[in-house]
Structure 1
Amino acid sequence: MNDLLNFQPRRLSRDETFYVAGHRGLVGSAIWRRLNAEGFKNLIGRSSSELDLKDREAVFAFFAATKPRYVVLAAAKVGGILANNTYPVDFLSDNIRIQVNVLDAARTYGTERLLFLGSSCIYPKLSEQPIREESLLTGHLEPTNDAYAIAKIAGILQIQAVRRQYGLPWISAMPTNLYGPGDNFSLEGSHVLPALIRRYDDAAKFGAARVTNWGTGSPRREFLHVDDMAAACLHLMENYDGPTQVNVGTGSDVTIKELATLVAEAVGYQGAIEWDTSKPDGTPRKLLDVTRLSASGWTAAIELKDGLRSTVDWYRSNLAEIRR
């Protein structure tokens, strides 16, 4: 086993086997693109139809056959407020099984360096802003996605437990709200930004006079382009080692009303924007403190307006294939 006291983060070998769990998802596909661009020669991935990560026996057989030296665990069951609030059992059970199976198999078959990806919803609903990593487990969670949050918290604690018990230099990263190519634009499963892109693009296409959004529009959210997230993941694997999860974000946020206006501009919608205040807002604000990440030498590069324009272009170019 590796000795944490002697381990030093270093450049990953481009020749070793690197498994990206969830390589067809929003985050996983971006990480795959980044690793390809960085010259990694032995990337492996399996679709959910090829490998069900909830199937423990199948996961162990996969790791026994491939023995990846590096792993990014980006696979997860994800969704927006509606999906999380409607199917909490699914979000809790599926995610815990995925995490436990992959992490146990990786430990059993000698994975040296592993990055577990969580979500900013792990932090208490009323965390002091911006949210520091130390805020974890200091207060009540947002009720609309507490089941998903608990699953992700369990993943962080398993990473910490592996470090303590087995001395492996595994780490966790907690991204803020992500967007970009490969996002989920479905009516029931999408997060706020892809949902707004779909809604406003349809409104612009069909000449709708008004668009109605959930809530008051007052909550503030931080958005990170998924290509920036992918760059941050490789940076952390090569430059960070510690038990504390690392926040990954931009360090700035906008209101949902401001976001709606930006999306409307990006798609060319010129009608009225209205708000259904009978619907829930969710957490009032989620801005991550990215001091730890910045201190390691990484900052986000893609501005929100630029990222929105490129995401809208991708969405329109891939309407036949994307999740709707």
Structure 2
Amino acid sequence: MAKRVVVTGGGGFIGAYLTKRLVHDGWDVAVVDSMVRGDASRFAEVADDVELFTCDVRDQDALEGAFKGAEVVMHLAAINGTENFYKRPELVLDVGLRGALAVVNAGREVGVPDMVVASTAEVYQTPEIVPTPETIPLMLPDSLNPRYSYGGSKIVSELIAFNYGQDHYRQVQVFRPHNVFGPNMGWKHVEPQFIMRALAAQDAGDGAFPIQGDGTETRSFCYVDDIVQGILTMYEKGGHREVYHIGSDEEVSVRELAARIGKIVGVDLDIQPGEIQAGGTPRRCPDISKMRALGWSPTVGLDDGLERTVAWYREHRNDVPANDLM
């Protein structure tokens, strides 16, 4: 008999890819998602094999019904997207904090043995060590800046997972994904915004491409299929009450990312530096040696992943949703 897994936020970007992979791997899969920001069409190809609970992740009673019989709950539900951190911080915090509490308490009530919780690289903001190991101190630089609504909620989510889960779960694990990208990832992240602007520049015959900051800021971008494989490897081979950085350790500047996207789109971009929003991080790149020790490492190169992502957004460029949370 197939083991049951529940994915909260299964209509979200990473959640939907994870849901599809779990179905293909033979799990009995349930998804919890309010579909306020998620979209069930993301896992349409396996929808007949997924039990969908359209409820709020903050509703513990509803979660208990969804979690019954589950071997593991993989909690990915959150309000993501940098624009949302600045514009909807109260909602980001409410879903993040109350959702984490409801999830761990519902799992305890119905006897779920294993819990996997998604965190973020935003929990350590501007690290002193790059590439950054899991042992770095977590940091909230400025409680007045709404940007930290997300990172702050994830710091508390990690505390909730490990402390509430200490005596009630067989295995609790936290993963911190680093700049995940891929087709159908939404519209409020750097890759889709750059792609859409590059496509618009191509249409206009004008390569002017303003960016935030001077473009020397760095990130490491990891394709979504690699992230999903990392989550499953962590769950299968990782330890109890452990944190894992899942991402690429290839550090790329924002200027180079824009140039690579422009090359794939087929437009020569004139990258123009601009003001940077307060709270940005100059460098971000994970140390993934802990995941490598489990036998996992990224396999999809940045250009390959960007080509797949550009192709999707080129095809769906007129599908920008009315929902301002997307």
TM-score by length of 1: 0.86
Distance in 2 (CA, whole Å) between partners of 1:307 and 1:170 is 31
Structure 1 counterpart of 2:225: 227
Residue 280 of structure 1 and its aligned partner are, at CA, apart by 4.7
Moved more, 122-131 or 245-254: 122-131
Map of 1:1-324 to 2, 5 A cutoff?
15-40=2-27, 42-49=28-35, 50-63=54-67, 66-80=68-82, 82-137=83-138, 140=141, 143=145, 145-185=147-187, 190-277=188-275, 279-280=277-278, 282-321=280-319, 323=321
User: Which residue does 2:46 correspond to in 1?
Assistant: none
Change (3 A) 1:278 1:173: closer
- For residues 180-237 of structure 1, the C-alpha deviation after alignment (integer angstroms, 9 at most, x for no partner) is 022111xxxx121221112112221332341211221111101111111011111111
SS where residue 138 of structure 2 aligns?
A: coil
Q: How many residues align?
A: 303
Does the Cα contact within 8 Å between 1:18 and 1:44 map onto a contact in 2?
Answer: yes
Matched residue SS, 1:285: coil
Gap regions ≥5 residues in structure 2: 36-53
Q: Which runs of 5+ in 1 are unaligned?
A: 1-13
Separation in structure 2 between the aligned mates of residue 181 and residue 237 of structure 1, nearest angstrom: 25
Give the CA deviation at 1:114.
1.8
Give the alignment's TM-score, normalised by structure 2.
0.86
Q: Distance in 2 between matches of 1:320 and 1:35?
A: 30
Distance 1:278 1:20, change over 3 A: closer
CA contact (8 A) 1:127 1:139 kept: no
More deviation, 28-37/287-296: 28-37
Q: Which has the higher contact order (CA 8 A, sep 6+)?
A: 1
Task: Please provide the CA RMSD for this pair.
Answer: 2.1
Cα distance in 2, alignment partners of residues 155 and 278 from structure 1? 28
1:118-173 deviation per Cα after TM superposition (whole angstroms, max 9, x unaligned): 11010142432111111133674795632211111111112211342225211110
CA contact (8 A) 1:162 1:168 kept: no
- Structure 1 Cα separation of the partners of residues 142 and 101 of structure 2: 22
Amino acid at match of 1:34: R
Maintained 8 Å contact 1:89/1:147: yes
Structure 2 residue identity aligned to 1:179: F
